[in-house]
Structure 1
Amino acid sequence: MRRAVVSSTATVAGILLLLSLKPHDATGPAAVISSGGSSGSSGTSGTSGSSGSDGSTGSTGSAADAGSASARSVTGDAADTRYGPVQVKVTLSGIRITSIDVVQYPSQDHRDQEINSYALPVLNQEAIAAQSADIDVVSGATYTSDGYTASLQSALDKAGL
């Protein structure tokens, strides 16, 4: 009987110790995930939390459209998801999407970083190929995908598309 009590107590203590361990959290500022288009912005600039920009951020010349229309960037509203906000900045040349930068996304822990490192480039490629926010979600990144499409649609609405 004493062995059962001692082994049960030891088991409970061991489980409590395991549950109290926390993984190493080496989070820094999240990098901007870019589609690599002709936006002229760096693909690895950091974010500082929430973005204060929610409209058109100016226009610059673009070689992508042979000079007939100037490129402009529009930042969508931040879409709140279960794991954090997602916000995109769309660069347009006329009515064509030339690049998409994800300026805000969940990156609080290693799992968020792992999911978004593969999901966001896929979402960027799909949105540019579709030229709209009507894209499929990435399996395993449903919340991020939903936030991405909501922010992208917001940006496209602001651009009048």
Structure 2
Amino acid sequence: MKFFRQVTTAQKNAIVIMGRTTWDSIPPKFRPLPDRTNIVLTSRPMPDAPAEVVVARSFDEALTKCPEDATVYVIGGSQVYKTALVHEHTKAVLLTEITCPDGHVECDTFFEGFDQSLWKKQPYERLQTFVGDNVELPGKDTCVEEKGFSFVYTLWEK
């Protein structure tokens, strides 16, 4: 979560776009996510949402609510990811690649719709530039080990 927080707050005009289920999954005491504009995609009213939360009915509508100089991060859920991945304005994907030593991971959520043939994995130095100096990255070619999993942060661009 540290990397996520650092990346999505590193820019002055940062915006996170998420679906209603993702919003609901964040414990109320942590909503809205601080130091960034929160846009929630939903077709239902959100009468209890804090005043600073922006509500949009579609991904395109959400983008119209973003200033030109904003850095926009899509943080879930699966339908929002699918929409963003094929959207003409999506130019980059920050992807955490996770592996497990025994190769078997019990999970119920997958990152679907990411066609690697449409993207180019960038070198570590480009990732460093993309996330900026305020984000702590592990060293080049360094896998982070945590709770039986290994992961690396990667950047993919069109």
Normalising by the residue count of structure 1, what TM-score does the alignment of the two structures yield?
A: 0.28
Q: Which one has more relative contact order, counting CA pairs under 8 Å at least 6 apart?
A: 2
- Structure with the higher fraction of residues in helix conformation: 1
- Structure with larger Rg: 1
- Structure with the higher fraction of residues in strand conformation: 2
Normalising by the residue count of structure 2, what TM-score does the alignment of the two structures yield?
A: 0.28
